[in-house]
Structure 1
Amino acid sequence: MTEQASSPARSPKIRIRGLYKSFGSKHVLNGVDLDVEEGTSFVIIGGSGTGKSVLLRCILGLITPDAGTIEIDGRNVLSVPQREREAMIGEIGMLFQNGALFDSLTVWENVSFALLAPELRRHSETHPRLTRAQAKIRAGEILNQVGLDASVGDLSPSELSGGMQKRVGLARAIADRPKILFFDEPTTGLDPIMGAVIDGLIVDCVKQMGSTAIAITHDMASAQRIGDEAAMLYKGRLVWQGPASSLMNSGNPLVDQFTHGRREGPITMELRR
C-alpha cells in the first residue's frame, strides 16, 4: 500500500511572534506569542494596563511594535509594502469599547462608513462600489441583523441608548463583511441582560460570516459566551491559553485569581509612582 502525502499544515489566520512594545521605561508587551486559527473566536483577558488594547492596536497598525512579527494569512504586516498593508488591515472590522460613533453622521452613515469612505473601499465582485442610496439600504439590512429597525438609521447617535449604540457599533464593524473582527470590551457599560444580548449578536455575526475574531474583555461571563479559545495577558506576556470554557477552572493561579476576583494570590496591585 502506498502512503499518501500529507497536506502541508495550514498557517494560522493570525500569527504573532516575539512582540515587544515599550513606552519610555514602561514595558507593555514583553514577547507575546499567539496563534489564532481561522474561524476561531479568541478571547484575551487580563487586568487594566496589561497590554490588551496595545496588542490590538499593534495588529491594526495603529501602533508600531519595537520588535516581533505579526502575520495575517502568512504575510508579515510589518514588512509588506504600505499599499498591501493597508489592504490587509482593511480586512479587519472593529467594535470599539465606547462605540466610537461619529456624532456628525446619522446612524446609517455610521454603519455604512467603510462602504462610502473612498480611502476605505475594497471594491471587488464581493465588495462592489455603492451609491449613497444603495449604502443606506445596505445599512438598514445590517441594522436588522443586529436587532434594530431600519428606521433607526435616520437617527443621530445621541438619540440612542447605550445598548443601541453598541448594536450600531457592531453593525458598522460587520458592514463590509470583514474576514477578521476585533471586539474591545464589548459589554462595558451594559447591564447583564443587554451584555448577554450583545454577546449573542456577536456570536451569530461571527458564525454567519465565518470570520476570525479576537475580543478583549474583563467580563468573564462574556468571555465564555463569545470565546472558543482564551488566553490571559499578564505583565506583557501570555501566561495561559486554553478553551474559553475552562476559564473558571484553569488550574493556573494567575488565571484563577483574576477570573474569580480574589484579593489574595500571585497578582498584586502595583502602586503608581
Structure 2
Amino acid sequence: MTPPAAPGAVPKIRIRGLHKSFGDKRVLDGIDLDILPGTSTVIIGGSGSGKSVLLRCILGLVEPDAGTIEIDGVDVLSMNRRQAEATREQIGMLFQNAALFDSLPVWENVAFGLLAQRGTRRIGRAQARALASEVLTQVGLDPSVGDLRPAELSGGMQKRVGLARAIASRPQILFFDEPTTGLDPIMGAVIDGLIVDCVRVLGSTAIAITHDMASATRIGDEAAMLYKGRLVWQGKAASLLDSGNPMVDQFTHGRREGPIGMELRR
C-alpha cells in the first residue's frame, strides 16, 4: 500500500453532492468523497449500490444530474471538450474483464492509448512496441507475449495485459473495476500485488471497486461503502473486517442477517 498523504493535502479527486438517477431509479444520492493524492481507495457495496456509476461519472462517461467532481481542484463537469480529453489522458483503467481487443495482438492492446494520441504526444509503432514490451515486463510477462492474441492467454494473463495497458501512459489516476473477478485466490493475490507495486512506482492515485474483501484490504489504504446510492461508511481499508458499522460488518462477512435486506427486483 502507498504511504499516507501529507496532512492537509489537497484532494486529487473531490466529489460533492453527486446525484444521478435513471428514470425513477435513484442511483447516486448526494455523494461526498475526497480521494487524496498518492493513496489507494477501495469502494465496496452490493450490486446496484452505485459503485460503477460513480466511476463512470468521474470518467465522464455518465453525466450526473447534480453535484461537482473536481480533479486537481478543477470541476471536470464544466470543462470544455479539449480540457476534458486532456484530463482523461491522465487516467488509466483496468476493466472488470480486461476488455482486450481480440483483433489486435497483445502489444497493440497495451499500446492502444499511446498510438491513439495526437499532436506532439503521438509516437510511432516501433516506439510504442518497445514501450509495450517494457510494461509487459513490469507486470510479470515476457515481451514475447506481445505477439500473441488475447484468445491465446489465460484469464490471469489477460488481467495482466489489461493492467499493462492501464499503466502504459504512466497515468496520474488509476481505476480498477473488480480487478480479481474470475480469478482463483492465488492469481487474485498476484494481481493485487502487481497493482500495489504499479501504483507505488507511478505514484498514482487509485480507486478500485470490488466485492473481494481480501483484495480490498490488500490494495486499499482507504475504503468507503455505498448503500442505495449513499456513502454509509468511510475508514481505513485495514478496518473493513472490523469496522464497527453494522452495514459494513454484514457485507464484509457475508451475513444474511443485518440491516441490509434483499430487495425484490421489479
Aligned with residue 198 of structure 2, among 205, 216, 219: 205
User: Could you say which residue in structure 2 is the equivalent of 1:89?
Assistant: 88
| Equivalent pair of 1:90/1:122 in contact (CA under 8 Å) | no
Deviation of the 1:32 alpha carbon: 0.4
> Structure 1 vs Structure 2: percent identity of aligned residues?
78
Q: Return the alpha-carbon distance in structure 2 between the equivalents of residues 230 and 268 of structure 1.
A: 22
Aligned with residue 182 of structure 1, among 140, 162, 175: 175
Deviation of the 1:10 alpha carbon: 4.0
User: Could you say which residue in structure 1 is the equivalent of 2:58?
Assistant: 59
| Per-residue Cα deviation, 1:53-84 (whole angstroms, up to 9, x for no partner) | 00000000000000000000000000121211
Amino acid at match of 2:109: N
User: Could you say which residue in structure 1 is the equivalent of 2:29?
Assistant: 30
Residue 151 in structure 1 maps to residue 144 in structure 2: yes
Which has the larger displacement, 194-203 or 9-18? 9-18
Q: How does 1:179-258 map to 2 (within 5 A)?
A: 179-258=172-251
| Per-residue Cα deviation, 1:206-239 (whole angstroms, up to 9, x for no partner) | 0000000000000000000000000000010110
User: Could you say which residue in structure 1 is the equivalent of 2:135?
Assistant: 142
User: Could you say which residue in structure 2 is the equivalent of 1:45?
Assistant: 44
Q: Return the alpha-carbon distance in structure 2 between the equivalents of residues 144 and 10 of structure 1.
A: 33
Q: Which runs of 4+ in 1 moved over 3 A?
A: none
Deviation of the 1:9 alpha carbon: 4.7
Q: Return the alpha-carbon distance in structure 2 between the equivalents of residues 261 and 166 of structure 1.
A: 26
Q: Structure 1 residues 70, 122: CA separation in 2 closer, same or farther (over 3 Å shift)?
A: farther
Q: How does 1:3-14 map to 2 (within 5 A)?
A: 9-14=8-13
Give the match's secondary structure for 1:207: helix
| Equivalent pair of 2:20/2:27 in contact (CA under 8 Å) | yes
Deviation of the 1:251 alpha carbon: 0.2
| Per-residue Cα deviation, 1:94-124 (whole angstroms, up to 9, x for no partner) | 0000000001110000000011014xx584x
Larger Rg: 1
Q: Return the alpha-carbon distance in structure 2 between the equivalents of residues 16 and 222 of structure 1.
A: 24
| Equivalent pair of 2:116/2:122 in contact (CA under 8 Å) | no
Q: How does 1:95-174 map to 2 (within 5 A)?
A: 95-118=94-117, 121=118, 123=120, 128-174=121-167
Q: Return the alpha-carbon distance in structure 2 between the equivalents of residues 18 and 89 of structure 1.
A: 22
| Equivalent pair of 1:187/1:198 in contact (CA under 8 Å) | yes
Q: Return the alpha-carbon distance in structure 2 between the equivalents of residues 228 and 89 of structure 1.
A: 24
Q: Return the alpha-carbon distance in structure 2 between the equivalents of residues 10 and 237 of structure 1.
A: 25
Give the match's secondary structure for 1:48: coil
Q: Is there any run of 5+ residues in structure 1 with no aligned partner, and where?
A: 1-7
Q: Return the alpha-carbon distance in structure 2 between the equivalents of residues 90 and 152 of structure 1.
A: 26
Give the match's secondary structure for 1:247: helix
Q: Structure 1 residues 122, 20: CA separation in 2 closer, same or farther (over 3 Å shift)?
A: farther
Which has the larger displacement, 80-89 or 214-223? 80-89
Q: Return the alpha-carbon distance in structure 2 between the equivalents of residues 54 and 9 of structure 1.
A: 29
Q: Return the alpha-carbon distance in structure 2 between the equivalents of residues 41 and 208 of structure 1.
A: 13
Kindly report the root-mean-square deviation, in angstroms, between the aligned alpha carbons of the 2 structures. 1.2
Amino acid at match of 1:239: V
| Equivalent pair of 2:9/2:37 in contact (CA under 8 Å) | no
| Equivalent pair of 2:20/2:26 in contact (CA under 8 Å) | yes
Q: TM-score, length-normalised on structure 1? A: 0.93
| Equivalent pair of 2:15/2:68 in contact (CA under 8 Å) | yes
